[in-house]
């Protein structure tokens, strides 16, 4: 009974992830994996492209001035 409950939750969360933005989608799919592990089912093999790494510093080309290399 508990397994069916968590399987149902995982399925609902995956359904919500289909229409979510990339950040929320990743979080929802991680949540679904946790529900799968609680329900005793093996995690699904969803292939997903990783999000691009955000830059914390500007590119190096901005720092070089004329005549500098």
* Tens digit of pLDDT at every position of the chain (69 positions): 788 888 999 999 999 999 999 999 999 999 999 998 887 755 555 556 666 666 676 666 655 666 555
Are 20 and 28 within 8 A, CB to CB? Answer: yes
pTM over 0.85: no
What integer pLDDT is reported at residue 4 of this predicted model?
A: 87
DSSP string, the chain: -HHHHHHHHHHHHHHHHTTS-HHHHHHHHHHHHHHHHHHTPPPP----PPPPPPPSS--GGGT--TT--
What integer pLDDT is reported at residue 1 of this predicted model?
A: 78
């Amino acid at each position: 009974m508990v397994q069916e409950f968590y399987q149902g939750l995982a399925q609902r969360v995956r359904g919500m992830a289909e229409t979510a933005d990339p950040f929320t989608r990743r979080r929802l799919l991680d949540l679904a994996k946790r529900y799968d592990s609680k329900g005793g089912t093996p995690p699904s093999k969803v292939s997903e492209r990783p999000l691009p790494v955000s830059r914390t510093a500007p590119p190096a080309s901005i720092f070089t001035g004329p005549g500098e290399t």
